[in-house]
């Protein structure tokens, strides 16, 4: 059964797609255009009642929340492709810890910046400069914690690549690319080396090479 991933043009669905590639799982994509409000259509809300991307359909099984989806596939296909979970219970605890940090400390200020820098102009909404400054400060503090952590281990959960690293790819790509805030990564030696490592993985390069239809 081929996994259907909805909304491949956006960052959170790319978190799922890069995981499926790491695991060697076949998938197809279903375009959903946020600017046309397709995520609020009755058909889409049947699959994802909050109207957010992504959602996956795997036969009769439907799952939303990108981090729940990557955990599901990492567990379901544990022995296929890259092991993204860690081997011992302690390693798994650390993977979960850094995934939670990504979801609750890194993503919120960054998401707001993404919306303000990349999406507001398309909607004719002006940026809130105070909010932007506040978010950048919050993100800097989180990155300082990563800098310290990555001075002690190659990846966030230890010396192995895991979901905890993979989860950072799509939104950090916005930061270093179209948002032109790569200095936030490059000013931190260990974060910078980590970013070069994880973003050069063939799985992520493949995601970047796809030209998904909007």
| Binding residues vs ligand GSH (CB under 6 A) | 10-12, 34, 39, 51-54, 65-67
Return the number of the residue (54 or 158) whose C-beta is nearest ligand GSH.
Answer: 54
Cβ 188 vs Cβ 147: under 8 Å = yes
Return the number of the residue (12 or 203) whose C-beta is nearest ligand GSH.
Answer: 12
Please name the helix (run of DSSP H) or strand (run of DSSP E) that holds residue 63, with its range, or none: strand 61-64
CB of 152 to ligand GSH, least distance (A): 28
Return the number of the residue (47 or 53) whose C-beta is nearest ligand GSH.
Answer: 53
Strand-strand pairing, 3-6 and 27-30 = parallel
CB of 86 to ligand GSH, least distance (A): 21
Cβ 66 vs Cβ 5: under 8 Å = no
CB of 7 to ligand GSH, least distance (A): 7
Please name the helix (run of DSSP H) or strand (run of DSSP E) that holds residue 4, with its range, or none: strand 3-6
Q: In what order do the strands lie in the sheet with 27-30?
A: 27-30, 3-6, 55-58, 61-64
CB of 69 to ligand GSH, least distance (A): 8
CB of 100 to ligand GSH, least distance (A): 12
CB of 52 to ligand GSH, least distance (A): 4
With tokens 């940026």, the residue in question is 127
What are the start-end ranges of the H helices in the chain? 11-23, 42-47, 66-76, 89-101, 107-114, 120-123, 129-150, 163-166, 169-176, 183-186, 189-199, 202-209
| DSSP β-bridge partners for residue 209 | none
Return the number of the residue (66 or 135) whose C-beta is nearest ligand GSH.
Answer: 66
Return the number of the residue (21 or 150) whose C-beta is nearest ligand GSH.
Answer: 21
Return the number of the residue (12 or 162) whose C-beta is nearest ligand GSH.
Answer: 12
């Amino acid at each position: 059964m081929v996994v259907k991933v909805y909304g491949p043009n956006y960052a959170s669905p790319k978190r799922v797609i890069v995981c499926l590639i790491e695991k060697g799982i076949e998938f197809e994509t279903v375009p959903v255009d946020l600017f046309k409000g397709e995520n609020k259509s009755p058909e889409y809300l049947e699959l994802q009642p909050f109207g957010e991307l992504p959602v996956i359909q795997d036969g009769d099984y439907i799952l939303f929340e990108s981090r729940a989806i990557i955990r599901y596939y990492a567990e379901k296909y544990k022995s296929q492709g890259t092991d993204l979970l860690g081997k011992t219970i302690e390693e798994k605890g650390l993977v979960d810890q850094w995934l939670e940090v990504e979801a609750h400390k890194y993503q919120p200020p960054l998401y707001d910046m993404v919306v303000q820098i990349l999406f507001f102009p398309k909607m004719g909404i002006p940026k809130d400069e105070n909010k932007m400054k506040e978010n950048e400060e919050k993100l800097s503090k989180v990155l300082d914690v990563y800098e310290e952590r990555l001075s002690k281990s190659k990846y966030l959960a230890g010396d192995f690549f895991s979901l905890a690293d993979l989860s950072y790819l799509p939104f950090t790509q916005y930061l270093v690319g179209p948002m032109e805030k790569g200095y936030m990564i490059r000013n931190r030696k260990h974060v910078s080396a980590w970013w070069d490592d994880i973003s050069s993985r063939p799985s992520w390069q493949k995601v970047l090479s796809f030209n998904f239809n909007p």
